[in-house]
Amino acid sequence: MGQKVWLNGNLVEREDAKISVFDHGLLYGDGVFEGIRSYSGRVFRLKEHIRRLFDSANGIRLGIPLAADELAKAVADTLQANGLKDAYIRVVVTRGVGTLGLDPNRCQSPAVFIITDRIELYPPELYENGLEIITAATMRNHPNAVNPRLKSLNYLNNILAKIEAIDAGTLEAVMLNHQGFVAECTGDNLFIVRDGVLFTPPIAAGILEGITRDEIIAIAEDFGIKVREENLTRHDLYVADECFLTGTAAEVVPVVRIDKRTIGDGHPGPITKRLAEEFHRRTRAS
């Protein structure tokens, strides 16, 4: 059975899932998307993901031609058509076919497509031993330029920082905001632990409010771990007892070195492990 893609209301073969070269999503990065996970056939926090998709679309004045429940059903239908229970789901909405000019009013109806597949961002051993990351020179987009809270198709800012990480021989990079505070990594939110307290940059620092980030905060609070959302500097990262990243695809991955500085004792810390284990338990509970 070949891979099926949901495209504008129809399930089509992967080879037939085509978008016009005149689509503004391709020409200008004019669109929004969500990355979602399913575990044992259950889609993790689908309601929250769809709400964020609609929020992003509203932020760029893009009308999604489906209601939230219709989109949720399309996700379920795509998973079923591909026989997937544990999967990564990509939902994309573009402005649609338009002219070569910028004017979005010249676009026809928005395009919507859903891809379900498998994804592995980091090798399994990094979840056991930890990840090394760097600080990127590329600054996070200014919120008054392209607001990072909009999960748009224009990811060039993130890609440039990702190139820096790859050039440095690492897989991820911390991005600072226009004030010099820690924002997030190229594809993940960031947490540190200091003296038993969990810290993470606030939404106002110019980050995407991650669904996995919110789940980890909720788990920490359930465990009685104090959580503080406040501005962090690179020095705060360097002197942290523990550090880890969160994201839909990455889940929870520990960080043991930043800019060649060892974090803690150079191994994933106990709070990181406890939160990661509980996240794993909750997402895979029957």
- Whether the pLDDT of residue 214 is over 70: the answer is yes
**pLDDT tens sequence across 177-198:** 999 999 999 999 999 999 999 9
| Catalytic (active site) residue 151 | yes
CATH 3.20.10.10 fits 124-283, yes or no: yes
**pLDDT tens sequence across 49-87:** 999 999 999 999 999 999 999 999 999 999 999 999 999
How far does Cα 6 stand from its chain's mean position?
Answer: 21
- Whether the pLDDT of residue 286 is over 60: the answer is no
How many C-beta atoms lie closer than 10 Å to residue 15's C-beta? 9
Average pLDDT over residues 104-132: 94
- Read off the pTM: 0.95
Cα–Cα distance for residue pair 47/35, rounded to 1 Å: 13
Q: Tell me the HSE value of 221 on the side-chain side, using a 13 A CA sphere.
A: 9
- Tell me which residue of 167, 177, 109, 87 sits closest to 140, measured CA to CA: 177
Cα–Cα distance for residue pair 128/271, rounded to 1 Å: 14
Set 151, 162, 226, 260: catalytic member: 151
CATH 3.30.470.10 fits 4-117, yes or no: yes
What is 8-52 written as a DSSP string?
TTEEEEGGG----TTBHHHHH--EEEEEEEEETTEETTHHHHHHH
Band (pLDDT 50/70/90 cuts) for residue 119 is confident
Per domain, the residue ranges of the chain are 4-117, 124-283
- Whether the pLDDT of residue 159 is over 80: the answer is yes
The pLDDT of residue 121 is: 80
Cα–Cα distance for residue pair 219/223, rounded to 1 Å: 6
